């Protein structure tokens, strides 16, 4: 899922980030709290925001086919924005400025359980018929002498963001299971991005780093990290995949249903080809290198994240409630 400055998930920081996120999209357009019309009765653009997992200047391009599908399904223009951090998207939804959002499962739970009126509708899979899930991994360098989480005691460790699922919350649970306290037993560094965490490790700035399970492949593929330079010493249990969530306070029921149906039934490579949006499956790019497409999800699918919050009592679990 731009190497960004580390942000803690506070209301003030979220609102500050929200200002820069929405300014270009909203301009002087006056929005209603529901129905999606601008002042004067004309339908406004729908706003789709996403948080990148890596330093990418082309995040919008990877969402091009999904955006085209949503525009086709709704008859509305969809304005895509890459967000500075998780807090910006959550507060943007809360303020009624973001209609559609793609972010981590922890961010979704923070927003949903913090009273933001959203509905999780779809999450990605790499193979048709599989469950939408991924993992968090802890990486070290080949010569580190670290072979388990227990060996991280006294070490400097890179995490992503306090609202990151695989880059903070799940690692926190793993460390607790290993008998370690994240704050007392090691020096934590918030890198701001999954790529930034692994690049800090490759650059010798930290002793270990947590990131989602495909980030290393992306960095070695782009030549930013050498093959074999980093290796995992721990992997988590499966984590519910990143959802796309709809803002039920800004979208009328007809638009909600159109978007819901499009994402759940047609946001996959075979369907996008059939819809004429992609020329072929091989040329059909999807976000975060998704190999097949999106499948339906519901709020209950994210109960495992809530359970981790109960176990860890992480501050971010309740920071926007």
SS3 readout for 165-225: HHHHHHHHHHHHHCCCCCCCCCEEEECCCHHHHHHHHHCCCCCEEEEECCHHHHHHHCCCC
pTM above 0.85, yes or no: no
Indicate whether 17 and 110 sit together in one domain: yes
Written as six digits, the tokens of 284 are: 């059909």
On the question of pLDDT at 198 being above 80, the answer is yes
Indicate whether 191 and 253 sit together in one domain: no
Indicate whether 104 and 150 sit together in one domain: no
Confidence of residue 115 (pLDDT cuts 50, 70, 90): very high
Confidence of residue 144 (pLDDT cuts 50, 70, 90): very high
CATH of the domain at 43: 3.40.190.10
Spatial separation of the C-alpha atoms in residues 4 and 191, rounded to whole Å: 7
Neighbours of 96 (CB within 10 A): 17
For residue 321, with 0-12 CB atoms within 10 Å meaning exposed, 13-18 middle and 19 or more buried, which class applies? exposed
Spatial separation of the C-alpha atoms in residues 106 and 308, rounded to whole Å: 10
Task: Find the domain containing 67 and state its range.
Answer: 11-131+241-318
Indicate whether 184 and 100 sit together in one domain: no
Q: Is 227 a member of any domain?
A: yes
Indicate whether 116 and 246 sit together in one domain: yes
On the question of pLDDT at 23 being above 80, the answer is no
On the question of pLDDT at 2 being above 80, the answer is no
The tens digit of pLDDT for each residue in 151-194 reads 999 999 999 988 888 999 999 999 999 999 999 999 999 999 99
């Amino acid at each position: 899922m731009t190497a960004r400055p580390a942000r803690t998930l506070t209301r003030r920081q979220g609102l500050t980030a929200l200002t820069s996120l929405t300014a270009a999209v909203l301009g002087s357009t006056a929005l209603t709290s529901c129905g999606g019309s601008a002042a004067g009765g004309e339908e406004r653009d729908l706003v789709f925001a996403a948080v990148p997992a890596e330093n990418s200047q082309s995040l919008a391009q990877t969402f091009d086919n999904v955006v085209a599908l949503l525009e086709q399904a709704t008859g509305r223009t969809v304005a895509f924005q890459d967000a500075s951090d998780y807090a910006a998207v959550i507060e943007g939804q809360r303020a009624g400025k973001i209609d559609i959002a793609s972010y981590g499962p922890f961010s979704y739970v923070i927003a949903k359980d913090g009273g933001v009126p959203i509905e999780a509708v779809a999450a990605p899979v790499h193979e048709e018929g599989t469950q939408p899930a991924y993992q968090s991994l802890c990486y070290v360098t080949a010569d580190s002498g670290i072979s388990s989480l227990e060996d991280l005691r006294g070490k400097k460790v890179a995490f992503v963001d306090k609202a990151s699922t695989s880059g903070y919350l799940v690692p926190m649970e793993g460390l607790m299971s290993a008998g370690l306290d994240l704050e007392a037993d090691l020096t934590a560094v918030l890198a701001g991005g999954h790529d930034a965490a692994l690049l800090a490790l490759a650059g010798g700035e930290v002793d270990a780093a947590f990131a989602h399970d495909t980030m290393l492949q992306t960095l070695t593929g782009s030549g930013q990290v050498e093959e074999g330079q980093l290796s995992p010493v721990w992997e988590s249990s499966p984590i519910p995949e990143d959802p796309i969530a709809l803002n039920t306070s800004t979208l009328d029921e007809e638009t909600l249903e159109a978007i819901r149906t499009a994402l759940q039934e047609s946001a996959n490579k075979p369907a996008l080809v059939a819809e004429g949006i992609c020329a072929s499956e091989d040329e059909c790019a999807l976000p975060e290198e998704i190999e097949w497409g999106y499948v339906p999800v519901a709020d209950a699918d994210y109960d495992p994240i809530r359970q981790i919050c109960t176990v860890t009592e992480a501050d971010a679990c309740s920071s926007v409630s």
